[in-house]
Amino acid sequence: MKLKVPVNSYEASVKQIEAGADEIYMGLEDFHFNRMSYSARAQIASSGVHANLTEADFAKSVQFAHSKNVTVNFTANCQHITKSEGDFYRKNFLEYVRRGISLGADAVIVADIGNLIALRKNGIDTPVIAGSYLNCFNSETVALLKDLGVFRICIPDQVTFNEIKSIKKNTCLEIEIFVGYGCSNLAGMCRFYHNSGEQIHVGVPCRAKFIRNNEESVSIMDACPDCAICSIPKLYDLGIDSLKLIGREMNIEEIVNITKMYKSAIQQYAMEGRFDRKEIISSISWWENEMCCERCKYEDTCLLRSYI
Ligand SMILES: [Zn+2]
Ligand SMILES: [Zn+2]
């Protein structure tokens, strides 16, 4: 089971690979836009972090990754490219993808069926991973994506463990599990803006606390589980091909700690067939209270029961 992690600079690539990444994923800066990009993250997040790499950093990261046998996935996972005058968005999307491939990316992450078809129509035959924004919830969608030449599917985090099991059983495609945390809604479908290019720092509004009738403040829309450490043994036993962490918009030091924690969990389970959950989780002091305890992904929790 591989660990795939985000990077947002060359320094981040080095740190993430040294922390144990088997695969890294990243986007490219794009001068057609001020803030938005084709990589499903703002070029500059509201926190001020540059989420995408310059061409020079991208090329250096690819070189370093390949020297360590680490695969590079390139994010071209924006949705909703509409027809515009002169087909501005589509033309530049294709140019963006070609730039990443020419800089050495091993696979492209795509999150829109139209974009996927457009890549193939335009002779771009690089291996494609269906990103979680494609919201692939069942075996029928997996089969369609297979026909479109996808080799791996990233399953969104609302899919339950039993559903993942049945998807895995019915396909030869690689299955990636989304283990990041953040939005409470369907991936990429949130009506609140976060990390899409907004300049004001609004945090993650779908998880914010709201004051109801001038009374207590409650996080009425918060329905996203956070921790996947606890479910690593069963994901591993199921033969899941890759775990995907998020955080291109975050400070790299924070993400590296999370990478290290997931890596040591996977390694410990792979080597010893057992798993000291408490010890692993204790490496990040806030994880247990804020992310675990009834907030675990792929487990039967009150969060899951609230929408099933
Ligand atoms: Zn959201
Ligand atoms: Zn947990």
Report helix, strand or coil for 255. helix
Rg of the chain, C-alpha, whole Å: 19
Burial 112-151 (b: 16+ CB within 10 A, else e): beebbebbeeeebebebbbbbbbbbeeeebbeebeeeebe
pLDDT the model gives residue 262 = 97
pLDDT in tens, 21-33: 999 999 999 998 8
226 neighbors 291 (Cβ within 8 angstroms): yes
Q: How many domains does the chain have?
A: 1
Q: Rounded to whole angstroms, how far apart are CA atoms 106 and 83?
A: 28
**Domain of residue 246, residue span:** 2-307
Low-confidence residues of the chain: pLDDT under 50:
none
201 neighbors 46 (Cβ within 8 angstroms): yes
Neighbours of ion ligand 1 (CB under 5 A): 183, 185, 190, 192, 206
Give the up-direction half-sphere exposure of residue 239: CA atoms within 13 A in the CB hemisphere.
Answer: 10
pLDDT the model gives residue 152 = 98
118, two tokens: 């457009």
Ligand nearest to the CA of 233: 2
Residue reference for tokens 């998880």: 207
Burial class (CB in 10 A: 0-12, 13-18, 19+), 192: middle
21 neighbors 242 (Cβ within 8 angstroms): no
pLDDT the model gives residue 308 = 67
Ligand 2: distance of its center to the CA of 165 in Å? 19
Continuous H helices in 128-180: 139-147, 161-169
Ligand 1: distance of its center to the CA of 235 in Å? 25
Report helix, strand or coil for 113. helix
Angle between helical axes of 55-67 and 10-18 (0-180°, round to 10): 20
Give the up-direction half-sphere exposure of residue 264: CA atoms within 13 A in the CB hemisphere.
Answer: 15
pLDDT in tens, 100-113: 999 999 999 999 99
Ligand nearest to the CA of 297: 2
Here the CATH number for the domain that contains residue 25 is 3.20.20.380
pLDDT the model gives residue 5 = 98
Ligand 1: distance of its center to the CA of 193 in Å? 7
